[in-house]
Each structure stands twice: as C-alpha cells, then as structure tokens.
Amino acid sequence: MLPILSDELLLDAYRNAVRLGLERDFIRLLRTEIRRRGLASAEAREHH
C-alpha cells in the first residue's frame, strides 16, 4: 500500500516507470496500487 502518494503522483510514477523500463516488480507494485484505488481506468486511458 502506498498511501503517501496522491493519485496523480501514483499515475505519474507508473507512467515513468513503464517509460524508463524499470523493474517489473516495481511496475507491478504500482499497478496493484492503482487498481486497489480504483484508478485502473485512468491507467488504461494513458496507454491508448
């Protein structure tokens, strides 16, 4: 759980992690938190 990050910062961190090709485990952690917060639709919009 990453309660310190705002939703916007979490999404920015996810986008940057994917763009930079960071470790899959880190990206998975961010993606899990995005889904936990119900932001999965926002995540999908960023990639289409």
> Which residue numbers in the chain have pLDDT < 50?
48
Please report the pLDDT score of residue 29 as a whole number: 95
pLDDT at 25: 98
Question: In this predicted structure, what is the pLDDT of residue 3?
Answer: 73
Helices (H), the chain: 7-20, 24-36, 40-46
Please indicate, yes or no, if residue 1 is contained in any of the structural domains.
Answer: no
Residue 19 lies in a domain: yes
The torsion region of residue 14 among left (phi > 0), alpha (psi -120 to 50) and beta comes to alpha
CATH code of the domain covering residue 23: 1.10.287
Q: What total of structural domains would you count in the chain?
A: 1
Quick one: pLDDT at residue 48?
45
Residue 2 falls inside a structural domain: no
Write the Ramachandran bin of 38: left for phi over 0, alpha for psi from -120 to 50, otherwise beta: left
Which pLDDT does position 2 carry in this prediction?
67
Token reading at 30? 């961010």
**CA 24 to chain centroid:** 12
